[in-house]
Amino acid sequence: MANPSPPRKATEPPWRTEGTPEEPPKPPPGGRRMRGGWWSLVLTALVVYLIANLVLSFFNGRDEPTISYTEFSRQVDAGNVSKIYAKGDAIQGQLKKAQDDPEGEGTYTKFQTERPTFADDQLWDDLTRHDVTVTAEPVVQHRSFLANLLISLAPMLLLVLLWVFIARRMSRAMGGGAGGMLGRKAPPRPVELRPGTKRTTFADVAGIDEVEGELSDVVDFLKNPDAYRRMGAKMPRGVLLAGPPGTGKTLLARAVAGEAGVPFFSASASEFIEMIVGVGASRVRELFAEARKVAPSIIFIDEIDTIGRARGGGAGVGGHDEREQTLNQILTEMDGFSGSEGVVVIAATNRADVLDPALTRPGRFDRVVHVSPPDRGGREAILDIHTREIPLARDVDLAQVARTTPGMTGAELANLANEAALLAVKRKQDRVTQGDFSEALEKVQLGAERSLVMPEDERRRTAYHESGHALLGMLQPGADPVRKITIVPRGRALGVTLSTPDSDKYAYTEEYLRGRIIGALGGMAAEHVVYGVITTGSENDLEQVTRIARGMVGRWGMSERVGRLSALPGDAQQAYGLAAAPQTLDAIDGEMRRVVDECYEEACRKLRDHRGQLDALAEALLLNETLDEADAYRIAGITRLTKEGPEA
């Protein structure tokens, strides 16, 4: 091996226990031959052989033209024949001077002819009189069968050499031997860092302190395994990181390996899957074998739900498809740990609910760590990490940015910092300002601005639509404060009203959710109150309203008629019609309509009662196109309430 494993202080016990399959023997130096490949090669060689024989026969036939016996007699009488060879009635000969080919294809000196059986000429006397030599060997020496065979096999040998050369090059590139042509890759190696590059540690991770606490046990075990063995404690064989995308699951796995200072094997679950059944299981065996050689080490499998979904649903014939075989091999390998190898498997998934129960049972992934989006303090710490190398102006307040980004994950915050830096570069600034962060946040949350010229009537209708959203958000008790209103087209929207809470919310009351529905229906209600029409601009609002109302009635027990039960699945991908009885689904639909209709009537009533404020906001939007938080509340004549009291 290119990188031999370090010597072990003590002999390790066998890593496999009862019931686990034996490790497959190594292929011979020449590698495994591809089944069916030799048959195709023999067929190709046969075709090449036949073509070569035809070509050689064609050229051999043109070397000695056949002439008539009359022409032969004429050449003998002219004394132009130097020697002949006869076998039966067939005659071969050679001329002293070249003659024109009777077929008109150049000249010839060697020839062949056939003496008629009825000829009674004195051929021997004529030959003797003109001093023609009668030889005992053929005048035209034909190649032997062996020579013809070798010449005809030359193209085939070239083809074989070319095929062997290409096969060896491919096998070297894909993991040795012709088995590489079956999709086998080179044995996995630990993730290597460039010289001088620091490894990721917990210092590079922020906002998820409670997760760090759970994973610090793994780090301590990898650093001090003997202390755990003396106490008879066994470290969890696998740690499953579950959480939404972008929360830092891969970063956490790297940080664990960096803190412990052990090799880190990283692979995506999709890399194990191949069209050929059995290749994925072979790769899993190789991965675990390599990790054991350099133990203590960490194996990280990203997106494990790709192969770890519950078995039995939608599988191939008999359930023996490639995905299930790969999953079975992972289960077998994790069962093979004796606890002393020092190999910890960390996996990440966004869909922990669809994993096979055999994967999450104790003894495999027996510790599940939920990685949630960070809170306000965590967001500030994450922004601080991602702005280490970004020159910030003095007016930048990362705490303020963290307050206005509730629900954003670490990846989204990293993107926000990068967008702010890109804006500063475009503006040819030396430092990133608070304005750059504000504009970058608008771009991330609302979408990029579009240069769209709207007719004046549509522009005015859009202004009333957004003013309806904003005004109801200001009037509704406990609603999220309005941060910005704009009628500048962004993304797919003709206008946007941005509302975010002052602090993170983890539980929602029925009053708050109704306020959300009323605010979302504010645009449609404003168009109805002012113009008496409804446009397609409320499509996204209605989707949001439907989602909230369905959750209130079918999942969170906020309906007296449906009762205190969860009748609908939390997963939107699950079939809606299979979740409850038809009568229950009818009751849910009826209650959803009731809730939405009540909220819509209240929205229309409030806008009629505060029509003057609605008109003032719409006119200000038509004049300025964008209103920030302070201007919006001032124009509407509403005092924004905070936890500390009225805001000036």
Tell me how far apart the alpha carbons of residues 9 and 295 are, in angstroms, rounded to a whole number: 12
Does 142 belong to an annotated binding site?
A: no
Structure-block tokens of residue 334: 């994790």
Find, among 497, 500, 486, the residue nearest to 522 by Cα.
497
Does 586 belong to an annotated binding site?
A: no
Is 544 within 8 Å of 556 (Cβ atoms)? Answer: no
Helix (H, G, I), strand (E, B) or coil at 81: strand
Lateral strand order in the sheet of 133-134: 107-114, 90-100, 81-87, 133-134
Tell me how far apart the alpha carbons of residues 81 and 133 are, in angstroms, rounded to a whole number: 9
Does 626 belong to an annotated binding site?
A: no
Does 386 belong to an annotated binding site?
A: no
Helix (H, G, I), strand (E, B) or coil at 120: coil
Lateral strand order in the sheet of 297-302: 264-268, 297-302, 343-349, 238-242, 367-370
Does 397 belong to an annotated binding site?
A: no
Among 466, 527, 591, 602, the one annotated catalytic: 466
Helix (H, G, I), strand (E, B) or coil at 176: coil
- Say whether 466 is catalytic: yes
Tell me how far apart the alpha carbons of residues 455 and 438 are, in angstroms, rounded to a whole number: 29
- Of the CA atoms within 13 Å of residue 455, those in its CB half-sphere come to 3
Does 246 belong to an annotated binding site?
A: yes
Q: Are strands 133-134 and 264-268 parallel, antiparallel or unpaired?
A: unpaired
Does 500 belong to an annotated binding site?
A: no
Tell me how far apart the alpha carbons of residues 142 and 446 are, in angstroms, rounded to a whole number: 87
Give start and end residues of each alpha helix (H) in 91-232: 123-129, 145-174, 209-223, 225-230
Helices 456-475 and 582-609: angle between axes, nearest 10 degrees: 100
Is 365 within 8 Å of 240 (Cβ atoms)? Answer: yes
Does 250 belong to an annotated binding site?
A: yes
Helix (H, G, I), strand (E, B) or coil at 466: helix
Does 360 belong to an annotated binding site?
A: no
Find, among 292, 285, 289, 286, the residue nearest to 342 by Cα.
292
Tell me how far apart the alpha carbons of residues 369 and 215 are, in angstroms, rounded to a whole number: 9
Does 130 belong to an annotated binding site?
A: no
Is 31 within 8 Å of 179 (Cβ atoms)? Answer: yes
Tell me how far apart the alpha carbons of residues 91 and 81 are, in angstroms, rounded to a whole number: 12
Annotated binding residues for Zn(2+), written as ranges, equal 465, 469, 541
Residues with catalytic roles? 466
Annotated binding residues for ATP, written as ranges, equal 243-250
Annotated binding residues, written as ranges, equal 243-250, 465, 469, 541
